[in-house]
Amino acid sequence: MTMLKKLKLAHKFTLFLSLVFIASIIIGGIILSQVSYHQAEGQVAYNAELLMKMMNSVKSYTNTEVRPLLDPLVNKQPKFIPQTIATYSARKIFESISNQSEYQDYLYKDAVLNPTNPEDKANELETELINQFNQEFSEDPNNIQDKYDFTTTETGESFYVARPIIITDQTCLKCHGKPEAAPKSIIASYGKENGFGWELNKPIGVQIIYVPSEQIFQKGRDLSSLTIGIFIVMFTIAIILINLLIKGIVIDKIRPMSRLAQKIRNDELSPDPMTEPDIQKLEKVAKNGDELGHLARIFEQMANAIYERKQKFAEQIEELTLKSQESNRASDKMGKIAYFKSLQKKAKSIRDKVDDSDKTK
Ligand code: HEC
């Protein structure tokens, strides 16, 4: 506290403003990073949701437009035509999206516990999600909601959205029920081990999409840092400007007053007010209509009063000296007269003595 009292006015302002600015930058920074985090989270979720919708449209297009056209061919070909399968077209289309460098870390998968295509085999996280969906489905089949969260994949931090795959259509079981009932071309292409024995009305897999979040969060952080950087620069400029302003408006105007007060105390005022530099400076300040101008005017009046008094005092002293000189001279005259008189007396007494001795002779 005493340290604070010792500080100069400009330094006090700097300190106070810096504290206010640092506090607001910290609070603003926290709020900003929270906001940008939520915004990034929203953007990641939005991207994932959009891609999921797109993939489902592709799937429904394949099921309604492509499959009916190709179905007659399926049984005639020795090898299965995978282009008729919704999952296949979704995977192919997603591949062409993720071939673009911008989307290379995006991932889409119809992950199933027992898939026809081994590429669709559920990993650890997906298996856990399928189990969770099964659990929830057994509790309340009408209340199943998408799951989303952050996870780490080979490509880094990602955000996923997962939706259960539930077989509701009996016709699906033609190829995913018993292997004996499946078209021969399927067995020829995929074997009879995988992708069979699926149950109706039960989550058998998850449709999952992974969106890399690191990049988007990094963008959010960069934006926050840039904003905070701009704030810091602006605050620094504001502190410098306020300092200059305080110096120009307050300190430079108070200085001649305090110097003048010091000179009055030490009796160091120059004899003539016209040659006293601080009074000249004071005159300039006194022209201002603000509080300092008012103070300067009072100071000016005070200094003038002191000069006047000094002048009077000097005159009085001069008068007194003159008087005392005069009185000195007067007493001098009186002394001379007395001396003369005593001399006369002496002479007279000598004369008398002489006269007496003359008489006795
Ligand atoms: C004509 C046979 C056939 C029918 C009918 C069929 N599928 Fe498939 N399904 C396949 C084949 C073949 C694959 C593997 C495609 C590939 O190579 O990716 C597959 C893959 C899948 C996958 C991806 C997981 C995996 O097993 O590789 C899902 C999910 C799937 N089918 C769901 C369904 C649903 C739901 C239906 C009913 C609307 C259905 N399928 C109807 C043949 C069929």
Residues 322-358 have pLDDT tens digits of 999 988 888 777 878 888 788 888 878 877 775 665 5
For 196-243, the pLDDT digits (tens) are 999 999 999 999 999 998 888 888 889 999 999 999 999 999 999 998
pLDDT, greater one: 190 or 1: 190
pLDDT of the residue at 355 = 66
Q: For residue 116, give the ligand 1 atom closest to its CA.
A: 26
**3 C-beta neighbours (distance < 10 Å), count:** 6
Residues facing residue 111 across a β-bridge? 206
Cβ distance 205 to 111 under 8 Å? yes
Q: Please give the single-letter amino acid code of residue 143.
A: N
The finding on whether 177 has its CB within 6 A of some atom of ligand 1 is no
Quote the CA–CA distance of 168 and 136 in Å, as a whole number. 17
Cβ atoms of 186 and 206 closer than 8 Å: no
Identity of the amino acid at 267: D
Strands 203-212 and 147-153: unpaired
Give me the chain's average pLDDT, please. Answer: 89
Confidence (pLDDT) at 90: 96
Q: What is the mean pLDDT of residues 250-263?
A: 88
Q: Exposed, middle or buried by CB within 10 Å (0-12, 13-18, 19+), for 70?
A: middle
Give 125's pLDDT tier (boundaries 50, 70, 90): very high
DSSP string, 273-342: GGG-HHHHHHHHHHTS-SHHHHHHHHHHHHHHHHHHHHHHHHHHHHHHHHHHHHHHHHHHHHHHHHHHHH
- Most confidently modeled range among 133-147, 271-285, 330-344: 133-147
CA dist 142 and 314 (Å) reads 110
Quick check: CB of 89 below 6 Å from ligand 1?
no
Using alpha carbons, select from 188, 150, 204, 159 the residue that is nearest to residue 51. 159
What pLDDT is stored for residue 1 in this prediction? Answer: 65
What pLDDT, on the 0 to 100 scale, is given for residue 248?
Answer: 87
What is the band of 359 on the pLDDT scale with cuts at 50, 70, 90? low
Decide whether any atom of ligand 1 lies within 6 Å of the 167 Cβ. Answer: yes
Residue 96 reports pLDDT greater than 90? yes
Query: Ligand 1, atom 13: nearest CA belongs to which residue?
Result: 116
Closest approach atom of ligand 1 to CA 71? 1
Q: Which helix (H) or strand (E) holds 71?
A: helix 67-74
Residue nearest to atom 38 of ligand 1 (CA): 172
Q: For 301-316, how does the pLDDT look when each residue is reduced to its tens digit (9 = 90+)?
A: 888 898 898 889 989 9
Owner of token pair 């999206």: 97
